[in-house]
Amino acid sequence: METTTGKREKWIDVLKGFAILCVVMGHTLDGVLGKGLYTSAEDVLIRAYDFIYVFHMPLFMLVSGYIFFKVYVREDGIRTEKLRRQIMNLLCLYFLFSLLYGLLKFGFSAFVSSDVGLSDILLIPIRPIGPYWYLYTMILFYLLFSFEAVRRINSCFLLILLFALSTVSKMFDIDGFFAINRVLFLAFFFLMGKIIVDYIEKCSVFAGVYFVVAIALFIVLYGNYESKIVYYIVKSIIAFGVSGGLALIAYRLEKWFAGRKCNLLEFLGEHSLEIYLLHVFFTTGFLTVFDKLHIDGLLGLLLIFILSVILPMVAAWILKKIKLYDLVFRPVSYIKTGKNK
């Protein structure tokens, strides 16, 4: 990630790389469990799936919040033009890939497990489908926190309020239109990005403590409550501890190992957008093919996961070679310049 000075913060790329691996693995596990392709280890897979889904999107949203407050917010206000271009780019990506996803799911409903109908495609402007709800919530958060009145609210008060909303959001079936449930759940983690920007040096000292406590809570407590409110409080605390702890650990490790590289995670982080936008097409396709060919077990799971990470980057490389990369992934930049950078 490049800051306003143009200097790349490698620890953010490492976090994005780790987070995108969790996203792809989460979707792979979801499909494998749904199709019953690895029944011999179902209990282990369910546990892994539950753990990934506790923290992976809070972590991504924390990173997104960090980038927003680091890149687009200055002491004298918002970098309006830069933020406007980014929001327009996110809008283009959201509509392009949501439409593509919806049309393919609808058109091939006989071959894939599909809950997408024509009405879902028509309602994309107000009800996200597939994994692209993340872009939708990002746009909403960018708009919300671009208002000075919101940014001037006491951060401590706002964090407490958003944590309460995050905790209770999952208790009510209000998701769907405008991604309300996800907005309420993830706003706290987006704002955590600002806290990381402001207090990273002080907070990183306790990185290991946050992470270890969160892992311990998951192992000992997660899923052991009959009370919904206690269950969701514990879930929010775990998400906070793991996502915050991972962010602080990544920052601290970069300080400790200055000059050394974590090439794989950095590389994946730099290409996380392409992987995020395209992986679902490969994951869905391979799940269908492997199911038909009866390729199951650990081999099937790992193949789907690895191919769903690698092939989006291959597709992005091909698009660069034929000078269509910006058209697909940076449409606003492409329209403005009229050529691939």
* pLDDT(34) > 80: yes
In percent, how much of the chain has pLDDT > 70? 85
pLDDT one-digit tens code per residue, 84-123:
999 999 999 999 999 999 999 888 876 776 678 888 999 9
pTM of the prediction?
0.91
Question: What does 80-119 look like in DSSP terms, one character per residue?
Answer: HHHHHHHHHHHHHHHHHHHHHHHHHHHHTTTTS-----HH
SS3 content of the chain, % helix, strand, coil (to 5): 80, 0, 20
Split at pLDDT 50, 70, 90, the class of 136 is very high
pLDDT at 341 (0 to 100) = 46
Nearest to 325 by CA among 310, 309, 340: 340
| Average pLDDT for the chain | 86
Give yes or no for a contact between 70 and 77, defined as CB atoms under 8 angstroms apart: no
Q: Residue with structure tokens 């897979």?
A: 45
Give residue-wise pLDDT tens across range 14-33.
999 999 999 999 999 998 88
pLDDT of residue 6: 55
User: What is the enclosing helix (H) or strand (E) of 77?
Assistant: strand 77-78
Q: 175: which residues sit within 8 A by CB, 6+ positions away?
A: 181, 182
Answer whether 64's CB lies under 8 Å from 144's CB: no
Query: By three-state DSSP, how is residue 8 classified?
Result: strand
CA nearest to 101, candidates 267, 93, 214, 28: 93
**Quick check: 196 and 62 in contact, CB under 8 A?**
yes
> Per-residue pLDDT tens for 169-193?
877 766 578 889 899 999 999 999 9
pLDDT for position 340: 45
Which of the two residues, 1 and 192, has the higher pLDDT score? 192
Q: Give the DSSP letter string of 191-205.
A: HHHHHHHHHHHHHGG
| Rounded Cα–Cα distance for residues 267 and 311 (Å) | 14
The yes-or-no verdict on residue 293 having pLDDT over 80 is yes
- Contacts of residue 129, defined as CB under 8 A and 6 or more positions apart, other chains included, come to 98, 101, 102, 116, 120, 121
One-letter amino acid of 13: D
Angle of the 10-35 helix axis to the 272-293 helix axis, nearest 10:
20
For residue range 236-265, what is the model confidence (pLDDT) as tens digits? 888 888 888 888 888 887 776 665 665 789
Tens of pLDDT along 65-85?
Answer: 999 999 999 888 899 999 999
Rounded CA-CA distance 265/140 in Å is 28
